[in-house]
Structure 1
Amino acid sequence: MSEETESYDLLFLRLKAGDEQAYKEIYEKFSKLLFQAAYNKVRDKVVAEDIVQNIFISIWEKREELMVRDARHYLMGSLKYAVINYIRSQVMENKYLAFSKNNSGGEEEIFSMIEVNDLSAIIEKGISSLPDKTQEIFRLSRFGHQSTKNISTDLKISEKTVEYHITRSIKFIRAYLKHYYLFL
Protein backbone atom coordinates (compact mmCIF):
# COMPACT_ATOMS: atom_id res chain seq x y z
CA MET A 1 0.00 0.00 0.00
CA SER A 2 1.46 3.37 -0.98
CA GLU A 3 1.97 6.22 1.46
CA GLU A 4 -0.57 8.27 -0.49
CA THR A 5 -3.21 5.55 -0.14
CA GLU A 6 -2.47 5.27 3.59
CA SER A 7 -2.84 9.04 4.02
CA TYR A 8 -6.22 8.94 2.23
CA ASP A 9 -7.34 6.11 4.46
CA LEU A 10 -6.24 8.10 7.53
CA LEU A 11 -8.32 11.02 6.28
CA PHE A 12 -11.37 8.75 6.25
CA LEU A 13 -10.60 7.60 9.78
CA ARG A 14 -10.42 11.24 10.88
CA LEU A 15 -13.66 11.94 9.01
CA LYS A 16 -15.35 9.06 10.81
CA ALA A 17 -14.45 10.81 14.07
CA GLY A 18 -16.20 13.98 12.80
CA ASP A 19 -13.13 15.91 11.67
CA GLU A 20 -14.40 18.61 9.29
CA GLN A 21 -10.88 19.43 8.09
CA ALA A 22 -10.45 15.81 6.96
CA TYR A 23 -13.73 16.11 5.04
CA LYS A 24 -12.47 19.27 3.31
CA GLU A 25 -9.18 17.57 2.43
CA ILE A 26 -11.00 14.56 0.97
CA TYR A 27 -13.16 16.92 -1.06
CA GLU A 28 -10.14 18.87 -2.32
CA LYS A 29 -8.22 15.73 -3.23
CA PHE A 30 -11.04 13.86 -4.98
CA SER A 31 -13.77 16.22 -6.19
CA LYS A 32 -12.09 17.09 -9.51
CA LEU A 33 -11.30 13.44 -10.24
CA LEU A 34 -14.87 12.42 -9.49
CA PHE A 35 -16.29 15.31 -11.50
CA GLN A 36 -14.19 14.38 -14.55
CA ALA A 37 -15.20 10.73 -14.31
CA ALA A 38 -18.88 11.67 -13.89
CA TYR A 39 -18.74 14.12 -16.78
CA ASN A 40 -17.16 11.45 -19.01
CA LYS A 41 -20.18 9.25 -18.32
CA VAL A 42 -23.11 11.68 -18.36
CA ARG A 43 -21.74 14.43 -20.65
CA ASP A 44 -23.57 17.13 -18.72
CA LYS A 45 -21.64 19.51 -16.48
CA VAL A 46 -24.55 20.35 -14.16
CA VAL A 47 -25.54 16.71 -13.72
CA ALA A 48 -21.90 15.69 -13.09
CA GLU A 49 -21.57 18.43 -10.46
CA ASP A 50 -24.82 17.30 -8.79
CA ILE A 51 -23.68 13.69 -8.72
CA VAL A 52 -20.36 14.60 -7.10
CA GLN A 53 -22.01 16.93 -4.58
CA ASN A 54 -24.50 14.23 -3.64
CA ILE A 55 -21.67 11.76 -3.08
CA PHE A 56 -19.93 14.16 -0.72
CA ILE A 57 -23.18 14.99 1.09
CA SER A 58 -23.76 11.27 1.58
CA ILE A 59 -20.20 10.79 2.84
CA TRP A 60 -20.69 13.50 5.44
CA GLU A 61 -24.10 12.21 6.50
CA LYS A 62 -22.85 8.61 6.81
CA ARG A 63 -19.38 9.45 8.13
CA GLU A 64 -19.84 7.60 11.43
CA GLU A 65 -20.78 4.33 9.69
CA LEU A 66 -18.15 4.46 6.94
CA MET A 67 -15.85 1.46 6.65
CA VAL A 68 -13.39 2.60 4.00
CA ARG A 69 -10.34 0.44 3.31
CA ASP A 70 -9.32 2.04 0.02
CA ALA A 71 -10.46 5.66 -0.36
CA ARG A 72 -10.10 5.88 -4.12
CA HIS A 73 -11.86 2.56 -4.69
CA TYR A 74 -14.67 3.57 -2.33
CA LEU A 75 -15.21 6.95 -3.99
CA MET A 76 -15.07 5.58 -7.52
CA GLY A 77 -17.53 2.85 -6.51
CA SER A 78 -19.85 5.48 -5.06
CA LEU A 79 -19.59 7.42 -8.30
CA LYS A 80 -20.32 4.33 -10.36
CA TYR A 81 -23.56 3.67 -8.47
CA ALA A 82 -24.58 7.33 -8.54
CA VAL A 83 -24.12 7.43 -12.32
CA ILE A 84 -26.01 4.15 -12.73
CA ASN A 85 -28.89 5.51 -10.64
CA TYR A 86 -28.94 8.73 -12.66
CA ILE A 87 -28.96 6.85 -15.97
CA ARG A 88 -31.64 4.47 -14.68
CA SER A 89 -33.84 7.41 -13.66
CA GLN A 90 -33.34 9.01 -17.09
CA VAL A 91 -34.25 5.77 -18.85
CA MET A 92 -37.40 5.43 -16.73
CA GLU A 93 -38.32 9.05 -17.39
CA ASN A 94 -37.80 8.62 -21.14
CA LYS A 95 -39.83 5.40 -21.15
CA TYR A 96 -42.62 7.12 -19.26
CA LEU A 97 -42.61 10.09 -21.65
CA ALA A 98 -42.63 7.82 -24.70
CA PHE A 99 -45.34 5.69 -23.15
CA SER A 100 -47.52 8.66 -22.25
CA LYS A 101 -47.09 10.10 -25.77
CA ASN A 102 -48.14 6.85 -27.41
CA ASN A 103 -50.89 5.99 -24.96
CA SER A 104 -52.43 9.24 -23.92
CA GLY A 105 -55.75 8.50 -22.29
CA GLY A 106 -54.90 4.91 -21.33
CA GLU A 107 -55.39 5.32 -17.58
CA GLU A 108 -54.85 1.66 -16.73
CA GLU A 109 -51.46 1.60 -18.42
CA ILE A 110 -50.41 4.83 -16.71
CA PHE A 111 -51.41 3.42 -13.30
CA SER A 112 -49.52 0.24 -14.11
CA MET A 113 -46.42 2.29 -14.98
CA ILE A 114 -46.78 4.24 -11.73
CA GLU A 115 -47.03 0.97 -9.78
CA VAL A 116 -43.83 -0.30 -11.42
CA ASN A 117 -42.06 2.96 -10.52
CA ASP A 118 -43.39 2.76 -6.96
CA LEU A 119 -42.20 -0.82 -6.65
CA SER A 120 -38.77 0.18 -7.98
CA ALA A 121 -38.59 2.97 -5.41
CA ILE A 122 -39.60 0.59 -2.61
CA ILE A 123 -36.96 -1.94 -3.67
CA GLU A 124 -34.34 0.82 -3.86
CA LYS A 125 -35.32 2.01 -0.39
CA GLY A 126 -34.94 -1.54 0.92
CA ILE A 127 -31.53 -1.92 -0.69
CA SER A 128 -30.44 1.43 0.72
CA SER A 129 -31.28 0.30 4.24
CA LEU A 130 -28.85 -2.63 4.02
CA PRO A 131 -25.41 -2.23 5.59
CA ASP A 132 -22.95 -0.55 3.20
CA LYS A 133 -20.88 -3.67 2.44
CA THR A 134 -23.97 -5.86 1.90
CA GLN A 135 -25.50 -3.16 -0.27
CA GLU A 136 -22.32 -2.85 -2.35
CA ILE A 137 -22.08 -6.60 -2.90
CA PHE A 138 -25.79 -6.89 -3.74
CA ARG A 139 -25.56 -4.07 -6.29
CA LEU A 140 -22.45 -5.55 -7.89
CA SER A 141 -24.17 -8.93 -8.12
CA ARG A 142 -27.67 -7.94 -9.21
CA PHE A 143 -27.21 -4.63 -11.03
CA GLY A 144 -23.58 -4.96 -12.09
CA HIS A 145 -24.12 -8.60 -13.17
CA GLN A 146 -20.78 -9.59 -11.66
CA SER A 147 -20.03 -13.13 -10.62
CA THR A 148 -19.35 -14.10 -7.04
CA LYS A 149 -15.75 -14.77 -8.00
CA ASN A 150 -15.28 -11.31 -9.58
CA ILE A 151 -16.82 -9.57 -6.58
CA SER A 152 -14.63 -11.64 -4.26
CA THR A 153 -11.52 -10.66 -6.20
CA ASP A 154 -12.44 -6.97 -6.52
CA LEU A 155 -13.31 -6.54 -2.85
CA LYS A 156 -10.57 -8.88 -1.59
CA ILE A 157 -12.96 -11.06 0.39
CA SER A 158 -13.81 -14.75 0.19
CA GLU A 159 -16.46 -16.08 -2.17
CA LYS A 160 -18.32 -17.49 0.86
CA THR A 161 -18.50 -13.96 2.31
CA VAL A 162 -19.90 -12.66 -0.98
CA GLU A 163 -22.49 -15.46 -1.03
CA TYR A 164 -23.40 -14.68 2.60
CA HIS A 165 -24.00 -10.99 1.80
CA ILE A 166 -26.06 -11.79 -1.31
CA THR A 167 -28.20 -14.34 0.56
CA ARG A 168 -28.64 -11.95 3.47
CA SER A 169 -29.69 -9.08 1.18
CA ILE A 170 -32.17 -11.21 -0.79
CA LYS A 171 -33.82 -12.46 2.42
CA PHE A 172 -33.98 -8.91 3.76
CA ILE A 173 -35.49 -7.49 0.56
CA ARG A 174 -38.08 -10.28 0.41
CA ALA A 175 -39.12 -9.55 3.98
CA TYR A 176 -39.06 -5.82 3.25
CA LEU A 177 -41.32 -6.26 0.22
CA LYS A 178 -43.64 -8.58 2.14
CA HIS A 179 -44.00 -5.83 4.76
CA TYR A 180 -44.99 -3.34 2.05
CA TYR A 181 -47.34 -5.82 0.37
CA LEU A 182 -49.14 -6.45 3.65
CA PHE A 183 -49.26 -2.71 4.31
CA LEU A 184 -50.83 -2.01 0.92
Structure 2
Amino acid sequence: MSSIQPEESLDLINRLKLGDTAAYEKIYNVLSKELLGLAYKKTGDKVIAQELVQNIFISLWEKRATADIKDLRNYLFGSLKFAIINYIRSEVIANRYIEHEQITYRPNSEDTSSLVGLKDLSEIIEKSLNSLPEKTQEVFRLSRYSHQSTKDISNGLNISEKAVEYHITRSLKRIREYLKNFYIFFLL
Protein backbone atom coordinates (compact mmCIF):
# COMPACT_ATOMS: atom_id res chain seq x y z
CA MET A 1 0.00 0.00 0.00
CA SER A 2 2.22 2.80 -1.18
CA SER A 3 -0.57 5.12 -2.24
CA ILE A 4 -4.29 5.65 -2.15
CA GLN A 5 -6.09 5.63 -5.49
CA PRO A 6 -8.68 8.38 -6.19
CA GLU A 7 -11.65 5.97 -5.98
CA GLU A 8 -10.32 4.51 -2.75
CA SER A 9 -9.69 8.03 -1.41
CA LEU A 10 -13.39 8.93 -1.79
CA ASP A 11 -14.42 5.72 -0.06
CA LEU A 12 -11.98 6.34 2.80
CA ILE A 13 -13.22 9.93 3.18
CA ASN A 14 -16.84 8.77 3.40
CA ARG A 15 -15.99 6.01 5.89
CA LEU A 16 -13.87 8.41 7.93
CA LYS A 17 -16.79 10.88 8.16
CA LEU A 18 -18.85 8.06 9.65
CA GLY A 19 -16.19 7.39 12.30
CA ASP A 20 -14.72 4.26 10.74
CA THR A 21 -11.44 3.68 12.61
CA ALA A 22 -10.23 1.15 10.03
CA ALA A 23 -10.40 3.85 7.35
CA TYR A 24 -8.55 6.25 9.64
CA GLU A 25 -5.84 3.67 10.34
CA LYS A 26 -5.42 2.96 6.64
CA ILE A 27 -5.02 6.67 5.88
CA TYR A 28 -2.47 6.93 8.69
CA ASN A 29 -0.55 3.81 7.63
CA VAL A 30 -0.33 4.88 4.00
CA LEU A 31 0.45 8.60 4.37
CA SER A 32 2.07 9.18 7.78
CA LYS A 33 5.62 8.18 6.80
CA GLU A 34 5.61 10.47 3.78
CA LEU A 35 4.21 13.33 5.86
CA LEU A 36 6.79 12.68 8.56
CA GLY A 37 9.60 12.72 6.00
CA LEU A 38 8.49 16.07 4.63
CA ALA A 39 8.01 17.55 8.10
CA TYR A 40 11.49 16.41 9.14
CA LYS A 41 13.00 17.81 5.94
CA LYS A 42 11.43 21.21 6.61
CA THR A 43 12.00 21.44 10.38
CA GLY A 44 15.21 19.48 10.81
CA ASP A 45 13.87 18.13 14.11
CA LYS A 46 12.50 14.60 14.37
CA VAL A 47 10.46 15.29 17.53
CA ILE A 48 8.90 18.44 16.04
CA ALA A 49 8.18 16.58 12.80
CA GLN A 50 6.47 13.76 14.71
CA GLU A 51 4.48 16.25 16.73
CA LEU A 52 3.30 18.16 13.65
CA VAL A 53 2.21 14.97 11.88
CA GLN A 54 0.57 13.62 15.04
CA ASN A 55 -1.39 16.87 15.43
CA ILE A 56 -2.53 16.71 11.80
CA PHE A 57 -3.91 13.21 12.29
CA ILE A 58 -5.53 14.16 15.59
CA SER A 59 -7.16 17.12 13.86
CA LEU A 60 -8.26 14.88 10.96
CA TRP A 61 -10.03 12.58 13.40
CA GLU A 62 -11.55 15.40 15.45
CA LYS A 63 -12.84 17.24 12.36
CA ARG A 64 -13.74 14.14 10.34
CA ALA A 65 -17.48 14.81 10.30
CA THR A 66 -17.25 18.48 9.33
CA ALA A 67 -14.07 18.80 7.26
CA ASP A 68 -14.56 19.46 3.57
CA ILE A 69 -12.11 16.91 2.19
CA LYS A 70 -12.08 16.33 -1.53
CA ASP A 71 -8.65 14.69 -1.77
CA LEU A 72 -6.98 13.07 1.25
CA ARG A 73 -3.45 13.59 0.06
CA ASN A 74 -3.95 17.29 -0.76
CA TYR A 75 -5.83 17.86 2.49
CA LEU A 76 -3.15 16.27 4.69
CA PHE A 77 -0.18 17.77 2.88
CA GLY A 78 -1.90 21.18 2.87
CA SER A 79 -2.49 20.85 6.61
CA LEU A 80 1.16 19.95 7.09
CA LYS A 81 2.26 22.95 5.02
CA PHE A 82 0.33 25.33 7.29
CA ALA A 83 1.52 23.55 10.44
CA ILE A 84 5.14 23.94 9.32
CA ILE A 85 4.61 27.60 8.45
CA ASN A 86 3.07 28.24 11.88
CA TYR A 87 5.90 26.38 13.59
CA ILE A 88 8.59 28.33 11.71
CA ARG A 89 6.74 31.61 12.33
CA SER A 90 6.63 30.92 16.08
CA GLU A 91 10.35 30.06 16.07
CA VAL A 92 11.21 33.29 14.21
CA ILE A 93 9.16 35.37 16.63
CA ALA A 94 10.79 33.70 19.64
CA ASN A 95 14.26 34.22 18.17
CA ARG A 96 13.54 37.88 17.41
CA TYR A 97 12.32 38.35 20.97
CA ILE A 98 15.47 36.79 22.39
CA GLU A 99 17.67 38.89 20.10
CA HIS A 100 15.78 42.04 21.10
CA GLU A 101 16.15 41.22 24.78
CA GLN A 102 19.86 40.53 24.33
CA ILE A 103 20.36 43.91 22.68
CA THR A 104 18.16 46.01 24.99
CA TYR A 105 18.77 44.37 28.36
CA ARG A 106 21.04 46.59 30.49
CA PRO A 107 20.81 46.02 34.25
CA ASN A 108 21.32 49.06 36.52
CA SER A 109 22.02 47.23 39.74
CA GLU A 110 22.28 43.72 41.09
CA ASP A 111 18.79 43.82 42.67
CA THR A 112 17.18 45.24 39.55
CA SER A 113 19.09 42.71 37.49
CA SER A 114 17.71 39.83 39.55
CA LEU A 115 14.13 41.12 39.31
CA VAL A 116 14.38 41.74 35.59
CA GLY A 117 16.04 38.36 35.12
CA LEU A 118 13.21 36.64 36.98
CA LYS A 119 10.60 38.50 34.92
CA ASP A 120 12.45 37.62 31.72
CA LEU A 121 12.72 34.02 32.84
CA SER A 122 8.95 33.83 33.37
CA GLU A 123 8.37 35.39 29.96
CA ILE A 124 10.76 32.96 28.29
CA ILE A 125 8.97 30.02 29.89
CA GLU A 126 5.60 31.35 28.70
CA LYS A 127 6.96 32.02 25.21
CA SER A 128 8.35 28.51 25.00
CA LEU A 129 5.02 27.05 26.11
CA ASN A 130 3.08 29.24 23.69
CA SER A 131 5.18 27.92 20.80
CA LEU A 132 3.90 24.41 21.50
CA PRO A 133 0.66 22.91 20.18
CA GLU A 134 -2.44 23.67 22.26
CA LYS A 135 -2.82 20.13 23.61
CA THR A 136 0.82 20.04 24.77
CA GLN A 137 0.41 23.40 26.50
CA GLU A 138 -2.77 22.23 28.21
CA VAL A 139 -1.17 19.01 29.47
CA PHE A 140 1.90 20.84 30.79
CA ARG A 141 -0.13 23.51 32.59
CA LEU A 142 -2.37 20.89 34.18
CA SER A 143 0.70 18.97 35.32
CA ARG A 144 2.92 21.79 36.53
CA TYR A 145 0.58 24.65 37.38
CA SER A 146 -2.49 22.74 38.56
CA HIS A 147 -0.41 19.87 40.02
CA GLN A 148 -2.58 17.16 38.49
CA SER A 149 -1.26 13.63 38.22
CA THR A 150 -0.58 11.93 34.90
CA LYS A 151 -3.56 9.66 35.53
CA ASP A 152 -5.91 12.59 36.29
CA ILE A 153 -4.80 14.44 33.17
CA SER A 154 -5.19 11.27 31.11
CA ASN A 155 -8.74 10.76 32.37
CA GLY A 156 -9.69 14.43 32.09
CA LEU A 157 -8.46 14.84 28.50
CA ASN A 158 -9.37 11.31 27.40
CA ILE A 159 -5.81 10.52 26.23
CA SER A 160 -3.43 7.77 27.30
CA GLU A 161 -0.98 8.23 30.14
CA LYS A 162 1.81 7.71 27.61
CA ALA A 163 0.43 10.64 25.59
CA VAL A 164 0.42 12.77 28.76
CA GLU A 165 4.05 11.82 29.42
CA TYR A 166 4.93 12.63 25.80
CA HIS A 167 3.37 16.10 26.04
CA ILE A 168 5.14 16.85 29.33
CA THR A 169 8.48 15.62 27.97
CA ARG A 170 8.03 17.71 24.83
CA SER A 171 7.18 20.79 26.92
CA LEU A 172 10.20 20.35 29.14
CA LYS A 173 12.47 19.89 26.15
CA ARG A 174 11.16 23.09 24.56
CA ILE A 175 11.52 25.02 27.81
CA ARG A 176 15.10 23.76 28.18
CA GLU A 177 15.91 24.96 24.65
CA TYR A 178 14.56 28.41 25.43
CA LEU A 179 16.23 28.53 28.83
CA LYS A 180 19.59 27.58 27.33
CA ASN A 181 19.42 30.72 25.19
CA PHE A 182 18.22 32.72 28.20
CA TYR A 183 21.03 31.43 30.40
CA ILE A 184 23.69 32.33 27.82
CA PHE A 185 22.14 35.77 27.52
CA PHE A 186 21.87 36.19 31.29
CA LEU A 187 25.58 35.39 31.73
CA LEU A 188 26.45 38.16 29.31
**TMscore range, shorter length:** 0.5 to 0.7
5 Å-filtered alignment, 1:65-144, equals 65-104=66-105
3-state SS of paired residue (1:68): coil
Identity percentage over the alignment? Answer: 47
| Corresponding residue of 1:157 | none
Find the aligned partners of 2:106 and 2:32 in 1 and give their Cα distance.
46
| Corresponding residue of 1:62 | 63
Q: CA deviation at 1:9?
A: 2.4
Find the aligned partners of 2:64 and 2:106 in 1 and give their Cα distance.
47
3-state SS of paired residue (2:68): coil
3-state SS of paired residue (2:29): helix
Find the aligned partners of 2:64 and 2:4 in 1 and give their Cα distance.
23
Provide the TM-score with structure 2 as the length reference.
0.54
Which aligned runs of 4 or more in structure 1 are off by greater than 3 angstroms? none
Find the aligned partners of 1:3 and 1:38 in 2 and give their Cα distance.
20
| Corresponding residue of 1:125 | none
Deviations 1:54-80 (A, max 9, x none): 000111111110111111111110110
Larger radius of gyration: 2
Find the aligned partners of 2:45 and 2:4 in 1 and give their Cα distance.
34
Q: CA deviation at 1:5?
A: 1.8
5 Å-filtered alignment, 1:1-184, equals 4-104=5-105
Change (3 A) 1:36 1:3: closer
Give the conservation status (yes or no) of the 8 Å contact 2:4–2:30: no
Find the aligned partners of 2:58 and 2:48 in 1 and give their Cα distance.
15
Structure 1 counterpart of 2:72, one-letter code: A
Runs (5+) with no aligned partner, structure 2: 108-115, 124-129, 131-188
Structure 2 counterpart of 1:100, one-letter code: E
Find the aligned partners of 2:27 and 2:92 in 1 and give their Cα distance.
32
Change (3 A) 1:93 1:32: same
Q: CA deviation at 1:105?
A: 5.8
Runs (5+) with no aligned partner, structure 1: 115-120, 122-184
Find the aligned partners of 2:86 and 2:21 in 1 and give their Cα distance.
28
